[in-house]
Each structure stands twice: as C-alpha cells, then as structure tokens.
Structure 1
Amino acid sequence: MTTVRWLLAQRRLQLTLRGGMAGLDRQLDCAVSSELLDAASWLSGGEVLLTTGLRLGDPGVWRDYLKHLDDVGVAAVGLGVGFGFDTVPDEMAAAAEDLGLPLFEVPLPVPFSAITRAVLDQIAAQRSSRLVAATKAQPKMTRAAASGGSAAVVRELADAVGQNVVLLDPGLAVVASAPRTMPSADLNHIRDLLGRDPASAGAVWITDDITMTVARIGSGGHTYGHLGVVGREALDDVARMLVGHAISLLAIEQARSGEVSRDVVELYDDALAVAIDGDSGPGVLRVLGRAADRAGRVRAVVFRFTDEEAAARSRRRVVDELDHRWRPAVVHRDRADLLVVLRGDDADDMAAGLLTQVNSAGPAAAGIGPATAVGDVAESVRQARLACRSAAPGQLVDLEGSRSLLAVDPVRQALSDAYVQRLAPVLDHDAEHGTDLRASLLAYLEANGNWGVAAAAQGVHRHTLRHRMERVEDMLDVDLDDARTRAELLLMLLGGTA
C-alpha cells in the first residue's frame, strides 16, 4: 500500500512534513503538478499535488486552497521551495494541520519528476506483487473447492483480498462467511442491494466507512446464490479478478453434472453409515468434515417415518434441499429412519425447516442431537434417535435444548438397564414370534391411554390393540390402568435401546 507516510520515508527525496500529520496514512495512486489556484476542480482524489506556489502569494487564499483540495480527496500537497517561497509559511502549515491534509516541503534540488517516478514505481511494484500473490491464490482456491467445497473457497478468497466475504444461497440465507461472521447491518445492506435487482450480475455500495461488492453466482438464467465482499477499500483489479475466479469455482460446484452429484451424495451416505458403525478412520472424517462448522463440529437429525418408502422419498427431498442451501448432503437412510448431518452451529430452525419438507412425503417425527466433534457423530446420531422416539409425528424434539432428563447420561443408562430387564418378556416374544407388542405398547402409552388414537397410530382395530395390551399386562405382570406404571414404562421405552 503506497501512503503519504511511505513517500516521506524515501530519504533520497529529502521531503519534510510541515503540517497535516493526521493524514499520513492516506493512500496515493498518482502524483501530479499544477500551479492553478482551482487545481481541485481537475482532481478526483488520491493524488499528491506538487506546486511551486507561484500563485499562492496571498495568505488569504491558503486555507480555501487547501480545503478545496482536501474536499476532493487529495492525499497530500508538496510545496517546492526556492521559487515562490523560501520555506513553507507557518500559516499555511497551520491550515494543513487543522485539515489533517499532509503538507510537505520539497527542496529546490529535488525535481518534481523524481517524486512522480517514485510514486509510480512503488505502485507498479505493489501491483506486480499483488499479481504474483493472485497467481498463488488462484490455485489455492481451486484446491480448496476440490477438498473443502464452498466454505473453503470463501475462506481462501477472504484471505486473498483481505476483506470480509459472505456466500448467500438463492433465498439469501448465509451459507458461509469468512474470516468472521458478517455483521447483521452489513448483511442487511447486501440483501437490500440484491432485493432491488436479484438477477443483476453485480452491484457496488459505497459509504464513508465501507465498500460492498455483490456478485451473482449462476449459469445462464439460473441463479445459484450471491457472493458479497465488504471492506474499507474498493476492490482493485487484482481483487476483482480473484472474486471472479471464486464465482467461477462456486458456479462449477453447483452446476456439476447429475452423475457427479449422485456419486458425491452416495459417498457422503457411505461415510455416515461407516461412522455410525464406529469406524471413523481419517478418510471418513475428512469426508464428513465437509459438513462441519468452523470448530469442526456436526449435529445429527433423525427423521422417523411410518414406512421405508416414505423415508426413501424424503431422502431425495432432503438431498435437494441441502444442495439448494449449498450444504453437503450427508444423508443416510436406515430402513424407516432418515439420518442427516448438519453443522454444529446450526440452530433447531434448520432441522425444523427440513422437517417441513419431509412431512410432505409422509408424516415423520424428528429428533436432533447435540453438537459433537466429527469423530463423535455416532453419539449425536444416538441421541437424535432417542429424541426422535420422544417426538410425535410432525414434531421436532431436542432433548438437550429442552433440558430433558432423558438427555442426562446417568438417567439414560438407568432407563436402558431397566428397559432390558423389565421389558424382556415382551421383547423376547416379539423376537421369537415376529409380533410387535413393544410398538403397540409405546403407541398406547404415548396416546396417554386413548384407545382410538393409539389404534389409529398402529393401523389396527381398537379391540386388537386392547387384546395386545392384555397380553402385555400378563407378560409384565402390571396394571396399565395405573398412571405410575404407565409413566415408568413410557420412560423405559423412550430412554432404552430402540
């Protein structure tokens, strides 16, 4: 970055600051010379104005002259002495100090062309350095796209341009942000820009404090999302080139062929299935890590359907929805259960939105597990399944978030032990004869003893359900009319092993 401070530090130029120290960090983009009193009318900002002051003999014009230059954004003023002035007048220096406009003295032996050449050479060197950095950043972004997906591309772009970057999906929800979370005020400005013309290829919004650049990510007439870049300075040519490269990579990721998409989804499916079975090797963790948040955490959601066909239909819906939201579709179907991995920092609202989607394919209950390290995803799945058993159709249960006793490890262990011991006769009978007394008992208890509701949930006649409960009473030697007995059995069924 070429600043006034840098220019004054060039000893060979022998420049001496006389006023305006507060503006030493102003950026320079060129150096010009002019003897016009209204030079400000011909300048656009960022310049070092060099003058001999031949027309500045009247002290009454000094303050207005400097103020007009400061108003248009001139970075600094250099007064060449030995012509109109032997030194910079104190009154002129005081005016520059008040404005915060750097005013320096150029000694007679130093030609203005030497200052101009120094500024231009430094800008060229910096531009060359930026281009070299860009040639290194582009392959890093490409590798990031291949190994880490959209979130990794956003991180690499933010690092390369030195500004805050956010990726939004077509619904303007945040997919990824780097190097930090985008402030809500900036995010709202970006959404306002996009709201005016969502199909626009790009837009720029500038204030005294920040510059926002927003670009569309798409192919043809299809919009996949938008990329926002926010910083104190406008993007230069090199930064815009890097933004363009990132947009291309993100568009390619979203527009990949259907066959590749299916293969990737199946890879995620297999990796999750292997992790649930307890085999979390480095390769599995690397694949599942694509779904993790910045802290490397994930959380599982389990959707339970009445039949496997509904679960299969919902799997396709969930995969499409996650893809639409720029999320890795880490989804696995286990018979009538659908297991989904979300980011560890995802709120319950994310899972609730997916539940709304899957309910259109068939009524489902849902449970969400706690955030865990990727290597402990099986534990999050286990707790999500436990929560799911506590949910009614169309309901999402978060045992940890609701501070349920079922989320307490010692309680779960005690219930699990009681489940195996107390319900053994029913479980053994189901296993030996292919009956479903356990599921009937759970339906009856969850319906709070309402025969009609419980029978409908099981798809049987009331008399059939009554007969089943009588058999359960005989096997367990209990009275299901007793409220405490029903409560204990329900807790065992919810907290025990499915």
Structure 2
Amino acid sequence: MLGAGRADCRCPSRTRTRPDRASEYSGRVPAPPRGPAVPATLRTVLALPDLALQPLFTETDLAAGALDRPVAWVHSSDLADPTPFLADDVVLLTTGTQFEGAGAGLVADYVERLRARGIVAIGFGTEVVRDGTPDELVAACREAGVPLVEVPYRIPFIAIARAAAELHAAAENARRSWALEAQHRISLAALHPDGLDATFAELARQLPAWVGFFDAAGGAPRQFPSGRGQAADDVAIAALETDAHALLRRGQRASVHARVGDRTVTLQTLGRRGHLRGVLAVAGGEALDPAGRDVVTSVIALAGAALEQGRDLDRARGVLRSGLAHALLADDPAVAHRVADELWGGLPEAPALVAVVDVAADHREALLESLERRSHDVFHALHDDSVMIVLEPRSRAVLEEVATSFDAAVGVGGPADYSALSRAYAQGRSALGRAREGSRGVVDFTSLASVGVLGLLAHADVREVARATLAPLDEHDATSGTELRRTVHVWLENGAQFDAAATALGVHRHTVRARIALAERVLARDLGGFPARADLWAAFMADEA
C-alpha cells in the first residue's frame, strides 16, 4: 500500500553528490522494525532509529494529534505542485529543486497547497540540492502547522517508504491475528449454557467496548459488561432504544451508526427479514476497523443462530403453557402447580391478578418473548385469541409496560385464588372490552364495578340506540321551542318528583306535569312505571357520556 512514487527523487542523476559522502549513499535500505506490531503513524515512523529522521518542530509547536496521524503512503516529488498526484494521509519527500530561485511567498503557497490536500508531513532531503533545510520552508511549515522533518543524506527516500510499509503491514497482520483469536474465544463462549449472554460478554471483552442487546420485545437492554461501569448514561441508552425500536419496526436487516457523546455506536439487527430477533449495539471511542467489524459479524451470525434455536424452544414452551392455562381456567390448578414448580420455580403467589391482553398479530411474538424472560414472576399463555397473564398484585407495573411497549389493550380481573381463577379471567375479559373501546391501555374490572351496570351501558354500543330513543324530544324542542329533554332529565334525576323537579328548573310544578305529559305523547311511552323511566334514564347516560 505504500511506495516512493514513480522514482526516488534522490537518484544520482539528479543529485550533486559530494565525493566524501558517495560511499554513504549506497542505496542500502535499513532493516524493517522488529518486535510488537505498531500502527504506521508519523510518530512511529519518526521513532525508527535506522531512519535517523530529525523533526524540526517540537510536538507543542504542532496541532494536537499531528504526530499520531496515520501514514498510508510515502511519496517523493520535486514538482512545484504535486497535489494532483497525492493521496490521503501522505508523507511527501522532496529535495527542494522546485525552490531554486523561489521567494518566501512561493514557498508559502507551496506549503499551503499541501496542507489543504491533507498531507501528514513534509520530509526534506538535505545535502542533495543544498545543505540544510531552507529557512523559507521552515517558516512556511511553522505558520501552516505542517510537520517538517529533515532526512539525512545517507537515507534514501525508498528506505522511509519501505519502513512505513513494514509498519503498516505488521499492524494489519496483528489485527487479523487478533480477529481470528477473538472469534475463536467468542465461539467457545457460545458453547456455554447461557450461550447468548456469554457471547455478548466475550465480545465486550475482546473489543473492548460496551455491548447492549435490545430484544424484539423492547425495553431496557441487556448490557455487557453488566452494570453501568462502561455503559452510556440513561439518556444515551434511551436514545439508543429509540434507534433500536425504529430498526425493528422496519422489519428488515439493517445496520446504522450513531454518535452518543464521545462514542461511536454501531447498531445491527439480528434475525431474518420479517422475523427480527433484536438489535446488537456496540459502542466504542472510534468506529470499528475492518478486523473489528469481522468480529462483530461473527457474533451476529452466532447470536442469530442461538435466537432461532431459542425460538423453536419457545414454541414448545408455548404449547405447554396453553395446556396449563386450560387447567387453571378449569379451576383445577394441581397439575399446573406441579409443572410450574419444575420448570419455572412455581406460579405467582395467590391471590393473583389475571390479565387478558389483546395485541396485534405482528407484536404477539415479541410480547411472548418478553414475558418468557419474566417467567420468574409472571405466568403467561396464549388462550383463545388473547394472551393470558397471571401475576401478583405487586407486579402490576408489568401490565403497564405491556400496554405501552406493544400498543396493547389489557383487561385485569381479580385478585383471586387459583381455585377461582376462571372468574378472575372472566372479569379480565369484561375489562378488556372497555380497554378496546378506549385508547387501549390497562383497565381494571374493579373500576367497571364501581360505576355500576348503567355506567357500563353508557360506554357500550348503545349510544346510537340511546340517541334514537331521545331523538323525538330533541326534534320537538328544536321545532317548537320547548324544553322537554331538559325537563324529563331533571325530573328523572330527582326521582320523578314533580315538586323537586320544579324547584330545580325554577318553574311551577304544574308546568313540569304538563311537560312530562307532552313528553309521553312525543315519545309514545307511559312514564308512570319504573321500567320505562329506567330505560329512559339509561338512554340519557349513554347519550351524554
């Protein structure tokens, strides 16, 4: 990847080699560096003792990080404007023939062009065209903040190119070796009993980085290392949750990059298109290099396979749970208790709440996955067309999470003992009907019982019937200027007492009697009996809810 350009600018045909130095300029290339692989940066190239390069500025004279820029290429040229032939992250070597007769202004323009092109440094080969580095070049590089290095006469430019190339190749080889070793360790971790978490934990150790796993059910991620030692704060995690849920909603395999504080975060979906199983988040100081991406890709493959295997196991558990649900709703919990004790450590303690959840089909699988991980404090099962959840009253917050995360309607019955769980389930289904009518969310049966039977009618599908029942009163009031609707309402509200209604309306009791008689004719109903009055009162409640 690195080279000295089309020719070494310090070839004998272009130099004024002095006889006493000819033997030193033999074309010998210093040996490549040995020992641990280090990246090819300006600092590491300058530190190679065989090259004997002499920086003309101290680190404090340069911009922060100037010595740690990567060196991707070493090029030599004596062109007045070599920028068309330069690539990114280049160290440019020159002997300065282009400066013959050039004033300080031209030299400054030369340096500015190189700075704008993004070169890493300028290396000046001394004693070829002139002794020492030109003062004009030193001043221009200092002004532009471009590192300037003197190359001794005895060091050919190709030696610098080769040394940088050796550093670059050694660093890449070291990263490839690390990637193979990391993948080996991650593969071993995947064999652990809790292979998924062990795989993510090993990935966090190998990178090293913070790793988060957002499952398809949403909610807080599983973090590696555990705890918040290396994790982003709550605000950052909330932002990542938003990005992860957006990827899951698309239903397609995808990868995106985000910036959270001083960290670069890579988010990658897991699973097949249309059947995403979660999102893996990896946060580090910088974006992953190719070796790091290879390691993450291997984890994605392993995790995807583990999640698909878990999916098959979840299906088997689901069939078992549905069978236990039938036993519980038959008020015969003995078998369910024995099986739950063996598999999940027991059922929630009684008295328990029974929730019935109505969730869209495309969210149901994710909901069941989420509940499966909470099998220690809730029991759940598919029953009929809904998801049944049994839980202790102290865990009721789980239902709010379900309604919010999965846009679900939840009806809650109970609390009840297991010998009467079918009644609590029936209550939950009644409450679910109200939740479906509203903006979904969670509705408790106790809240329905508190408003009574007529209160339920006001929220059921009787509104149109109620309006049709009261329509004759509204039409008569509109055409004749009467107040029949208000009078009947106040009269019923006051127990069908004429005197009390008259006081409330501010009219004589005979006026109330006359209006009620007219209302009976308009409605074609005899309001002298309780059933007719109760029916009309229910219509008022339903219409005015």
Q: What's the TM-score bracket when you normalise by the shorter of the two chains?
A: 0.5 to 0.7
Please name the residue that 2:182 is paired with: 137
CA deviation map 1:332-354 (0-9, x unaligned): 549998469xxxxxx99766313
Q: Which of 343, 367, 373 is the aligned partner of 1:321? A: 367
Q: Which of 305, 330, 334 is the aligned partner of 2:353? A: 305
Please name the residue that 1:114 is paired with: 159
Q: Which of 129, 134, 141 is the aligned partner of 1:84? A: 129
Is the 8 Å Cα contact of residues 20 and 103 (structure 1) preserved in structure 2?
A: no
Q: How far is the alpha carbon of 1:2 from its aligned partner?
A: 2.6
Q: 1:47 to 1:114 in 2, by over 3 A?
A: same
Q: 1:4 to 1:72 in 2, by over 3 A?
A: same
Q: Aligned pairs, how many?
A: 347
Q: 1:272 to 1:95 in 2, by over 3 A?
A: farther
Q: 1:252 to 1:14 in 2, by over 3 A?
A: same
Q: Which of 98, 101, 104 is the aligned partner of 2:146? A: 101
Under a length normalisation based on structure 1, what TM-score does the superposition of the two structures give?
Answer: 0.54
Please name the residue that 2:477 is paired with: none
Q: Which of 43, 47, 51 is the aligned partner of 1:5? A: 43
Please name the residue that 1:74 is paired with: 119
Please name the residue that 1:235 is paired with: 288
Is the 8 Å Cα contact of residues 216 and 366 (structure 2) preserved in structure 1?
A: no
Indicate the SS of the match to 2:221: strand
Indicate the SS of the match to 2:56: strand
Please name the residue that 1:411 is paired with: none
Percent identical pairs in the alignment equals 27
Indicate the SS of the match to 2:271: strand
Give, in whole Å, the separation in 2 of the partners of 1:105 and 1:302.
Answer: 84
Give, in whole Å, the separation in 2 of the partners of 1:208 and 1:42.
Answer: 37
Give, in whole Å, the separation in 2 of the partners of 1:348 and 1:451.
Answer: 22
The 5-angstrom pairing of residues 376-455 of structure 1 reads none
Give, in whole Å, the separation in 1 of the partners of 2:372 and 2:170.
Answer: 39
Indicate the SS of the match to 1:226: strand
Q: How far is the alpha carbon of 1:62 from its aligned partner?
A: 3.3
Residue type of the partner of 2:43? Answer: R
Give, in whole Å, the separation in 1 of the partners of 2:73 and 2:342.
Answer: 56
Is the 8 Å Cα contact of residues 190 and 214 (structure 1) preserved in structure 2?
A: no
Give, in whole Å, the separation in 1 of the partners of 2:154 and 2:58.
Answer: 24
Determine if the alignment matches structure 1 residue 55 to structure 2 residue 98: yes
Is the 8 Å Cα contact of residues 166 and 174 (structure 1) preserved in structure 2?
A: no
Determine if the alignment matches structure 1 residue 29 to structure 2 residue 75: no
Please name the residue that 1:160 is paired with: 206
Determine if the alignment matches structure 1 residue 217 to structure 2 residue 301: no
Under a length normalisation based on structure 2, what TM-score does the superposition of the two structures give?
Answer: 0.50
Please name the residue that 1:363 is paired with: 412
Residue type of the partner of 1:216? Answer: T
Give, in whole Å, the separation in 2 of the partners of 1:15 and 1:76.
Answer: 12
The 5-angstrom pairing of residues 161-180 of structure 1 reads 161-170=207-216, 175-178=221-224, 180=230
Q: 1:171 to 1:320 in 2, by over 3 A?
A: closer
Is the 8 Å Cα contact of residues 108 and 140 (structure 2) preserved in structure 1?
A: yes
Q: 1:214 to 1:101 in 2, by over 3 A?
A: farther
Residue type of the partner of 2:79? Answer: L
Is the 8 Å Cα contact of residues 210 and 232 (structure 1) preserved in structure 2?
A: yes
Q: How far is the alpha carbon of 1:326 from its aligned partner?
A: 10
Is the 8 Å Cα contact of residues 18 and 88 (structure 1) preserved in structure 2?
A: no
For structure 2, the residue ranges without an aligned partner over 5 or more in a row are: 1-38, 321-338, 382-387, 416-427, 432-445, 457-545
Q: 1:331 to 1:208 in 2, by over 3 A?
A: closer
Residue type of the partner of 2:40? Answer: T
Is the 8 Å Cα contact of residues 69 and 120 (structure 2) preserved in structure 1?
A: yes
Please name the residue that 1:389 is paired with: none
For structure 1, the residue ranges without an aligned partner over 5 or more in a row are: 278-299, 341-346, 367-391, 395-445, 457-498
Indicate the SS of the match to 1:12: coil
Please name the residue that 1:261 is paired with: 314
Q: Which of 383, 400, 414 is the aligned partner of 1:352? A: 400
Please name the residue that 1:412 is paired with: none
Q: How far is the alpha carbon of 1:152 from its aligned partner?
A: 4.2
Indicate the SS of the match to 2:114: helix
